[in-house]
Homo-oligomer: A and B are copies of this chain.
Amino acid sequence: MTAFGFQPHDHTDCIRTTLAQADAYCAEHKLKLTPIRRRALEILLAEHRALGAYDLLAVLAKDGLGTAPPVAYRALDFLTSAGFAHKIEGLNAYIACAHFGADHSPAFLICTSCKSVAEAETTATQGRLGEAARAAGFAISRTVVEALGLCPQCQEAPCA
Contacts and interface: CB of A to CB of B under 8 A. Distances in A.
Contacts of A133: 109, 147, 149
A94 to B, nearest CB: 14
A98 interface: no
B138 A109 contact: yes
A117 to B, nearest CB: 11
A103 interface: no
B136 A141 contact: no
Among A122, A124, A136, A150, chain B packs the most CB atoms within 10 A around the CB of A136
B144 A145 contact: yes
B107 A129 contact: yes
Copy number in the complex reads 2
Contacts of A147: 124, 129, 132-133, 138, 140, 142-144
A148 B140 contact: yes
A138 B5 CA distance: 10
Among A89, A140, A144, chain B packs the most CB atoms within 10 A around the CB of A144
Contact of A136 (B5, B122, B136, B137): B5
Interface string A79-102: 000000000011000000000000
Interface of A: 5-6, 89-90, 107, 109, 111-112, 118, 120, 122, 124, 126-129, 132-133, 136-152, 155
Which 6 pairs from chain A and chain B are nearest by CB?
A89-B89, A120-B132, A137-B152, A144-B146, A140-B149, A141-B149
